[in-house]
A and B are shown apart, each in its own frame.
Chain A
C-alpha cells in the first residue's frame, strides 16, 4: 500500500504498525519522536498496535525543548 512519510510517498507492506515503520525508517532516537498521522497525534502507547492505512500521511516530529 502507499503512504506518505515526511512528505515522501512510499510503498509499504499491508498491516504495518507505527512501531514497525519507525524501525523501517531508521528513525534516530525514537524516544524523542512524536508521530502524527493525518494530522492526528498518536499516543506512544499505541505505536505497537496502530496499523497504518492506505493513503496515510505520517510525520515524525522530534521533541524540541530545553531550559535555561
Chain B
C-alpha cells in the first residue's frame, strides 16, 4: 500500500509533535482510498493525548468523536491514526501492536529521535492466528510546489 500526505499536513503534524514534546502527540488521518490502490490523506487531525506522557498515548474520545463527524460531513473516510515517538524509532512498539485493533487502518508513526531529521512511516497491523503481523506501507510526501512526491 502507498499512502500520500501533503507537505503542509506533514508540517502541521510535525509542528504539533514538536510542541507536545516530551509527551507523545497523536491524531487521526482521513481521506480517500483511490481506485489505483493509493491511500490519499486529505486531512490530518491534531488531537489531545490524554495520557500526557512520553511513553503512551490515548486519543481523547471526545475529540475523536468530533473528528469522525467532521470526516463524515466532508465525505472523508477514516484512514487510521498517527502518533509520535519522541525518543524512539518510527516503528510500532509491542504496545502499539497490541492496541492496534483495526486491520483496515494505517498507523503512522513520526519519530523525533533525531528532531532535525524526523522520520514518518506507516504500518498495516493485522490480527492473525500467529499474532499481530506488521507490514510497512510506503509514505509519499506530496510537495506543494509541483504536486509531485
**Do A and B assemble together?**
yes
Choice from B24, B96, B99 contacting A63 with Cβ under 8 Å: B99
**C-alpha spacing A66/B68, complex, angstroms:** 20
Q: How far is the CB of B13 from chain A (nearest CB, A)?
A: 15
- Write out, one digit per residue, whether chain A residues 38-64 have a CB within 8 A of any chain B CB (1) or not (0): 010100000000000000000101111
Count of A-B residue pairs with CB < 8 Å: 62
Tell me which residues across on chain B come within 8 A of A59, comparing CB atoms: 65, 68
- Write out, one digit per residue, whether chain B residues 50-80 have a CB within 8 A of any chain A CB (1) or not (0): 0100111111011011001000100000000
Assuming the A-B contacts A29-B101, A32-B101, are A66 and B65 also in contact, with contact meaning beta carbons closer than 8 angstroms in the complex? Answer: no
- Write out, one digit per residue, whether chain B residues 123-145 have a CB within 8 A of any chain A CB (1) or not (0): 00000000000000000000000
B95 touches A67 (CB 8 A): yes
8 A Cβ contacts from A4-21 to B: 7
Assuming the A-B contacts A65-B56, A68-B86, are A34 and B61 also in contact, with contact meaning beta carbons closer than 8 angstroms in the complex? Answer: yes
**C-alpha spacing A59/B100, complex, angstroms:** 19
Sort A-B residue pairs by CB-CB distance and give the 8 closest, nearest first: A66-B96, A67-B56, A67-B95, A65-B58, A64-B59, A68-B85, A68-B88, A32-B101
